[in-house]
């Protein structure tokens, strides 16, 4: 039989686990990701288990700058930006873990990407990401993007995690004065 203090501790543990699954709004996402308009491509995290899985939302509107040129009279969200949206949901998932908080996630590889259907203005892009593996500063996620329950894109995204003040290319550190 457990003691009252053990029951209280277990209750607090369950409460913190419940917090893990709550939605993240745009300001919480902005506190995790360095991206800003017009390159922030996730509006909300619908639910998440940090380091395991996440579901995000990107509301696609005709006001997006890329629709001015892709394609006039036939607006379609560029595939590379769908991949970037998937990567940003993956980055939130990975950077929400205690050991990676405050860091950056860079692309290391993009594999097995398939585009199934176009994403159009007015669509709500739902992105599901699951960690395949993560060891140290590298790992891989599987991502699937949906519109109206139909798969529009899927693929494997590999990442490398770095400190925010660590230059992207250490040999260029002296050129830009980062990390001094």
* Selected catalytic residue, list 8, 70, 74, 174: 70
Q: How do the residues of the chain divide into helix, strand and coil, expressed in percent and rounded to 5?
A: 30, 35, 35
Q: How far apart are CA 88 and CA 13, in angstroms?
A: 28
What are the beta bridge partners of residue 130?
53, 142
Q: CB atoms < 10 A from the CB of 141, how many?
A: 25
In total, the chain counts a number of residues equal to 180
Cα distance between residue 53 and residue 98, in whole Å:
15
Instruction: Give the HSE-up count for residue 154: Cα atoms under 13 Å, Cβ half-sphere.
Output: 8
Q: Is 70 a catalytic residue?
A: yes
Residues catalogued as catalytic: 70
């Amino acid at each position: 039989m457990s003691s009252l203090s053990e029951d209280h501790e277990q209750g607090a543990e369950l409460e913190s686990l419940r917090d893990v699954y709550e939605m993240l709004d745009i300001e919480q996402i902005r506190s995790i990701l360095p991206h800003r308009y017009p390159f922030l491509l996730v509006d909300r995290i619908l639910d998440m288990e940090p380091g395991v899985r996440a579901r995000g939302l990107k509301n696609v509107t005709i006001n997006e700058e890329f629709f001015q040129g892709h394609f006039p009279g036939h607006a379609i969200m560029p595939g590379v930006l769908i991949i970037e949206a998937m990567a940003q949901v993956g980055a939130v998932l990975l950077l929400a873990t205690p050991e990676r908080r405050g860091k950056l996630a860079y692309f290391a590889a993009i594999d097995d990407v398939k585009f199934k259907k176009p994403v159009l203005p007015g669509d709500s892009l739902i992105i599901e990401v699951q960690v395949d593996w993560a060891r140290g500063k590298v790992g891989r996620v599987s991502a699937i993007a949906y519109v109206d329950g139909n798969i529009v894109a899927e693929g494997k995204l590999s990442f490398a995690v770095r400190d925010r003040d660590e230059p992207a290319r250490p040999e260029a550190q002296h050129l830009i004065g980062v990390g001094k």
